[in-house]
Structure 1
Amino acid sequence: MATIEECRSALEKLADNMAGADGDVREAAALDRSLSCRITDLDITFVGRLRGGRIEVLDTLQGPPAEKAQIRLTMSGDDLVAMVNGELNFAKAWGSGRVKLEAGLRDLFRLRTLL
């Protein structure tokens, strides 16, 4: 089972990857939205913002967040680490229910280019 530190590291790596992207991926990630990433097996939630093509983690909360973020991810810590390391395909994990992505319809259309 991935640790909190490994999950935070994976989110930082994802943020770096997004910041270094170009073309359609960079444009899709250029939203300014509140973001949460709930790690079910650790019962924690990373909360922050997706801004300027980068994820900014602002806090780590025990359990689910009190406020609903505009973009919400839910998965296990192992799945987060595997996805960021390229060992788990996001689209397949999302389609099978291993990873949940919740957002407004317009945001989902923009984010689909990241898949």
Structure 2
Amino acid sequence: MATLEECRAALDQLSRNMAKAADDTRAATALDRSLSCRITDLDVTFVGRLADSTITDVVTVPGTPPDKAQIRLAMSGDDLVAMVGGELNFAKAWGSGRVKVQASLRDVIRLRSLL
């Protein structure tokens, strides 16, 4: 099971990847949305902002935060680490229910190109 530190490192890596995105992916990273990533097996949620091609202002909240983000993800810590590491395909994980996403369809399509 991935630790809290490993999950935070995966989110930091995702943010770095987005900042270095190629021109064809840059449009997908140009969102300005509130973001939460619930790590189900650790019962914590990372809450932050997806803006200017990076994830900023990330804080860890125990359980589920009272305010709902515009883009909400839920998965195990291992799945987060595997997706960011390129070992787990986002679309397959989402289709199989390993990753849950609550967002507008447009945001989901953009996320797919990032993960």
How many Å apart are 1:11 and its aligned residue? 0.3
Determine if the alignment matches structure 1 residue 10 to structure 2 residue 10: yes
Would the aligned equivalents of 1:46 and 1:57 in 2 still touch at CA under 8 Å?
no
User: Secondary structure, in 3 states, of the residue corresponding to 1:2?
Assistant: coil
Would the aligned equivalents of 1:35 and 1:47 in 2 still touch at CA under 8 Å?
yes
How many Å apart are 1:60 and its aligned residue? 0.3
Instruction: Tell me the equivalent position of 2:50.
Output: 50
Alignment length (residue pairs): 115
What letter is aligned with 1:16?
R
How many Å apart are 1:112 and its aligned residue? 3.8
Question: Aligned in 2, Cα 1:112/1:89: closer, same or farther, shift over 3 Å?
Answer: closer
Gaps in structure 1 of 5+ consecutive residues: none
Q: Which moved more, 1:104-113 or 1:89-98?
A: 104-113
Whole-Å separation in 1 of the counterparts to 2:19 and 2:7: 18
How many Å apart are 1:57 and its aligned residue? 4.2
| TM, length-normalised to structure 2 | 0.93
What letter is aligned with 1:84?
V
Would the aligned equivalents of 2:90 and 2:112 in 1 still touch at CA under 8 Å?
no
